[in-house]
Structure 1
Amino acid sequence: MTTLNTPELLRRAEPINDKWLQVVGVPLAVLPFVLFYLHEYGYEWRLFVQTFSWGMVSTAITWQVLRWWVMRVRLRYADQTQFRQRLFLTFGGYVLFTVPLQLAETWTVSQLDLTGLIAPPEFPRVYLIHLVMALLFAFVVGALYESMYYVEKNREAILEAEALKKVALQSQYDTLKNQVNPHFLFNSLNSLSSLITEDKKLAGEFLDELASVYRYLLQEADRELTPLRSEVNFIHSYLFLIQKRFGAAISYTVEINDPWPDTLLPPLTLQTLVENAIRYNVILPEKPLWLEIRTTDEGQLQVANPIQRKPLRVTATPIGLGTLTDRFRRLGLPALVISDDGEEFRVTVPLVRR
């Protein structure tokens, strides 16, 4: 009366709790053998008590032996790619342990019979019947354990992938923040320094908008998505500072229609697209750059600007738009749609409904 497999033993995760399976499985494994003895030697209550008691003890011991074996196999072949090696050794161990233990048990039951009802087991019929029942039950429950193990490993892989995804997204977000912080702050402080001597009231307003920009950066640091309303408020502050730097050489319009302000998108999306336009286009009083930010009836956000490419190739790594595209992909969002007809550059951003 033998069985079976082991619970999951992970070195980096909680082991599978198989107590419930043992509580149910051991009596179920014993029952076919008890019924065999009752059918073979008579339906006597003393025979039932003896065979059931003996079966519970022997099966529980055998269960723990096989459990120990499978735990050792899984410690050595824990990876999902080692499925074949693990399966071969696991079920091979079932056979190697089950065959001698079951044959010995079948003989021992007849020798320790206190009822006087059990005759010496007929060879090979009784031995083979017991052996087939034991192996069949071991393999069935073993398959259940292997399924539980696979599900747990798959869950662990998903959690690990999610953790890596969050690390990657945070790294990309930090890159974007660093892109904003050094040069933008330096230019903003230069503009503020000039305004302090020229127009103290405007300097105070400039300082308030600068504080709003960096407050937004701090508040959104741990978010994957942010409301479009918050993003638009941020970009107004950001563009206010940009206009004070470039003056009449840059202008913009922002048109966000209902009900889209409450939709979501990754933070700093608008800043990335605005910065991309500023980096790659000529911005001069005689050739001003205009930016258009608006929502569409289809629930998308569009950022457009005329193409006024700088005559010299920009040497800075174009991490902004590429990183933003990758962020959308990693978050499982619809892709950005980028169009360039030679006269206008337009990026269409999908918005996420709450």
Structure 2
Amino acid sequence: MVNNREDFTLMHMNDSRLRWLGPVGLFLLGNVFFRLGFWLEATGRDMLHSVIVGLVAGALFWQLNRWIVLRLQDQLPGLERTPNRLMILLLLTPMLVSAAIFSRFAMHVFLGSREQLWLGLVDYVTSSGIQLFYHMVYFAVYEGWYLLLQWKQTYLEKEELLKAQWQSRFNALKSQVNPHFLFNSLNALSALIQESPNRASVFVDELSTVYRYLLQANDQELVPLSTELTFIDSYVHLLQTRYGKGVIVHKSVSPDQLNRCLPPLTLQMLLENAVKHNIVMASQPLCLEIRTTEEGQLMVRNNLQRKNASKVSNGVGLSNINAKYRMLTQHNILVQEDDTYFTVLLPLLGDLPARTGQFAVKQSER
């Protein structure tokens, strides 16, 4: 889940100073709390040896523990893997503590401040407590910093998702009361009533289906592909009633992908954009293709026949779709354009059979 590399680069830059000052501060803190009696009674030679050993060993194990924590964060990233990282650190702690104790003892022997070549039980237990404190500080500094950045990133992502959701609901609300869409639909209905009352009745049913789905879609973050396709059938019926043979839609969706999910109204926004920005005529039909790929993506493609080559779309519809996908999947939609086709590839999310929705039930009853 961790994608905010700028924060981690900044952390490592600031960490360069901490890696030098941290061992010094920890050495002073540990000696004040754990070895104050030694400093009040020790000779100058013993003090010098203690400072050398403390700072050298402190810097060495600061670097070692830092490396271990950062490697674990690379291999097990994210807040959800925090228990796994902490469990591994807990298992490694006894070995790291013992290594720190014996390395310090070896340095004392090398400097001549320890005459015996073995460490007594009392000294080992006392040193274990001190080193355990030191290692808890190492882990707390780097793991705590990491968790803070992770929490910050998660909070910002939730804020962006909430903003995208409200923007999507606002856009959906605008489309529900879009006067042009309603005006064109009513004009088409008026013509049908005189020409073909039976077709007019079907048109009313499809129009009510479209508006019912628009109302229901605001309450859902995801809908099954099958539900979205059923809605698109009604929406396409309205388009074809208005444009006749100027709109041609081909669907080729694998049955095993129908329970995969996507944000509601995604297909409607793509088809609406295609109709908005391209010439739609019976002699020059707009061909729309909706199909699934072998990679498990949904492809929506239309032939390019721009209404006005000098007019560039602001891409608001695609930006809204991409924002929702980015928040839900951490992946962007893929937009491809050449001289012939405009193509959008949409990731399909996992199956959610429990979210088939009331819309699909009502469609089956019609």
Structure-1-length-normalised TM-score: 0.57
Counterpart amino acid of residue 141 in structure 1: M
Q: Which residue number in structure 2 is paired with residue 213 of structure 1?
A: 210
Q: Distance in 2 between matches of 1:174 and 1:234?
A: 18
Does the alignment pair 1:336 with 2:334? yes
Q: Which residue number in structure 2 is paired with residue 244 of structure 1?
A: 241
Counterpart amino acid of residue 278 in structure 1: V
Q: Distance in 1 between matches of 2:39 and 2:282?
A: 102
Q: Distance in 2 between matches of 1:136 and 1:311?
A: 73
Deviation at 1:86, TM superposition (A): 7.1
Structure-2-length-normalised TM-score: 0.56
Say which SS state the counterpart of residue 259 (structure 1) adopts. Answer: helix
Q: Distance in 2 between matches of 1:300 and 1:204?
A: 36
Deviation at 1:310, TM superposition (A): 1.4
Counterpart amino acid of residue 220 in structure 1: A
Q: Which residues in structure 2 correspond to 1:178-197 (within 5 Å)?
A: 180-181=175-176, 182=178, 183-192=180-189
Deviation at 1:230, TM superposition (A): 0.9
Counterpart amino acid of residue 180 in structure 1: S
Q: Which residue number in structure 2 is paired with residue 276 of structure 1?
A: 273
Q: Distance in 2 between matches of 1:197 and 1:228?
A: 36
Deviation at 1:151, TM superposition (A): 4.0
Does the alignment pair 1:147 with 2:145? no
Deviation at 1:294, TM superposition (A): 3.2
Q: Which residue number in structure 2 is paired with residue 55 of structure 1?
A: none
Q: Distance in 1 between matches of 2:235 and 2:296?
A: 24
Q: Distance in 1 between matches of 2:174 and 2:310?
A: 19
Does the alignment pair 1:166 with 2:166? no
Q: Distance in 2 between matches of 1:211 and 1:85?
A: 66
Q: Which residue number in structure 2 is paired with residue 288 of structure 1?
A: 285
Q: Do the aligned partners of residues 130 and 222 (structure 1) sit closer, same or farther apart at CA in structure 2, a change above 3 Å counting?
A: farther
Structure 1 residues 158-178: Cα deviation after superposition (integer angstroms, max 9, x where no partner): 421431341353255346525
Say which SS state the counterpart of residue 262 (structure 1) adopts. Answer: coil
Q: Do the aligned partners of residues 145 and 294 (structure 1) sit closer, same or farther apart at CA in structure 2, a change above 3 Å counting?
A: closer
Deviation at 1:257, TM superposition (A): 3.7
Q: Which residue number in structure 2 is paired with residue 45 of structure 1?
A: none
Counterpart amino acid of residue 316 in structure 2: I
Q: Do the aligned partners of residues 215 and 98 (structure 1) sit closer, same or farther apart at CA in structure 2, a change above 3 Å counting?
A: same
Say which SS state the counterpart of residue 330 (structure 2) adopts. Answer: coil
Aligned residues: 263
Percent identical residues = 33
Counterpart amino acid of residue 244 in structure 2: G
Q: Distance in 2 between matches of 1:122 and 1:248?
A: 98
Q: Do the aligned partners of residues 220 and 99 (structure 1) sit closer, same or farther apart at CA in structure 2, a change above 3 Å counting?
A: same
Q: Do the aligned partners of residues 195 and 149 (structure 1) sit closer, same or farther apart at CA in structure 2, a change above 3 Å counting?
A: same
Does the alignment pair 1:156 with 2:156? no
RMSD: 4.1
Larger radius of gyration: 1
Q: Indicate conservation of the 8 Å contact 1:102/1:130, yes or no.
A: no
Q: Do the aligned partners of residues 353 and 142 (structure 1) sit closer, same or farther apart at CA in structure 2, a change above 3 Å counting?
A: closer
Residue number among 221, 230, 234 corresponding to 2:231 in the alignment: 234
Structure 1 residues 181-223: Cα deviation after superposition (integer angstroms, max 9, x where no partner): 3243443344446556766654454343233223333433354
Q: Distance in 1 between matches of 2:240 and 2:190?
A: 15
Q: Distance in 2 between matches of 1:221 and 1:90?
A: 52
Q: Do the aligned partners of residues 155 and 200 (structure 1) sit closer, same or farther apart at CA in structure 2, a change above 3 Å counting?
A: same
Q: Do the aligned partners of residues 286 and 87 (structure 1) sit closer, same or farther apart at CA in structure 2, a change above 3 Å counting?
A: same
- Note the residue ranges of structure 2 that are not aligned, 5 or more in a row: 1-9, 55-126, 352-366
Say which SS state the counterpart of residue 255 (structure 2) adopts. Answer: coil
More helix by share: 2
Q: Distance in 2 between matches of 1:290 and 1:242?
A: 12
